[in-house]
Amino acid sequence: MKAHIYINGIHALPPQLKKDKSLKSEIVENPYDLRERMKDETIAEKIIVAFLPFLEVRHYELYMHLQKTTPNLKIFFIVSELSSNMRIRLRADNNFIVMWKTEETSLVKNIHKYLDGKAVESRQDRREHATSKGLLSPSKLPLGQNKGFQPILGGSFENLSPHGTCMKIQAPFYEHKDFVNLTYQNKEGDFVSLEGQVRWSKWNKETATQELGVQFLSSVIV
């Protein structure tokens, strides 16, 4: 039998779930009706997707009680914001999956990833798609000595969060653990300069770009 998806917190099925015929999806508007709707023990996999504008501990306790007492059930939260207590909980608990509203288009992909037994990453911070370009250069701070010549390069952001970004540049000059400086223009039109460290890098042969995961050395407002 197909995996059964129970949608809570919205009034209509997301288009991507309507299109995927390998999943059976239904809306359950009242979360207290979920237990009754999930009684069918012949369903091999059950997933609740809870859309919440704000996730706090009381929501977590309600849904996690369902997960603990219902066989083969997994909870996906799609949120616009997390309480500070839930951010702490997210760092310590991997029994539930948090996706940000900005990641909603990846919902079906992440459901299939979970059903295939693969890990689905929960992020503590919302990631915004950034349309502005940026400049990448060696760090201005005496944190460590990068290797080799590293020029100032223009690049594009794939996404941007308060604690980091994924950036694409046109040449493979930066490596894992290198300290860098990023300069870009924010939504208000102000130029922002940030110090960060490369946490991962890979060369994309198809686009001839180096992709860098950069962790900022201090939290910023994007």
How large is the angle between the packed helices 84-92 and 57-69, nearest 10 degrees? 40
Q: What is 133-216's CATH topology?
A: Thrombin, subunit H (2.40.10)
Name 214's bridge partners. Answer: 165, 198
pLDDT tens for the chain, 222 residues long, are: 589 999 999 999 999 999 999 999 999 999 999 999 998 888 889 999 999 999 898 999 999 999 999 999 999 999 988 888 887 887 777 788 988 887 888 899 999 999 999 888 776 555 555 556 788 888 877 666 666 677 778 888 777 777 788 888 887 888 888 888 888 877 777 788 888 888 888 888 888 888 888 888 875 545
Q: What predicted TM-score, i.e. pTM, was given to this entire model?
A: 0.61
193, containing H or E segment: strand 191-204
Q: Is the alpha carbon torsion for 24, 108, 126, 218 positive or negative?
A: positive
Q: In the chain, where are the structural domains located?
A: 3-115, 133-216
What is the C-alpha separation between 76 and 208, in angstroms, rounded?
35
Measured between alpha carbons, how far is residue 165 from residues 41, 84, 188, 213 in Å? 43, 22, 18, 6
CB 72 within 8 A of CB 43: yes
Q: Which one of 3.30.460, 1.20.120, 3.30.230, 3.40.50 gives the CATH number of domain 3-115?
A: 3.40.50
> What 8-state DSSP symbol labels residue 121?
P
Distance (Å) of CA 206 to CA 58, 170, 202? 46, 12, 12
CA-CA-CA-CA torsion for 187, 192, 195, 201, nearest 10 degrees? 40
Question: Contact 85/57 with Cβ under 8 angstroms?
Answer: yes
Token pair 């039109």: residue: 189
Cα(148)–Cα(171) distance, integer angstroms: 14
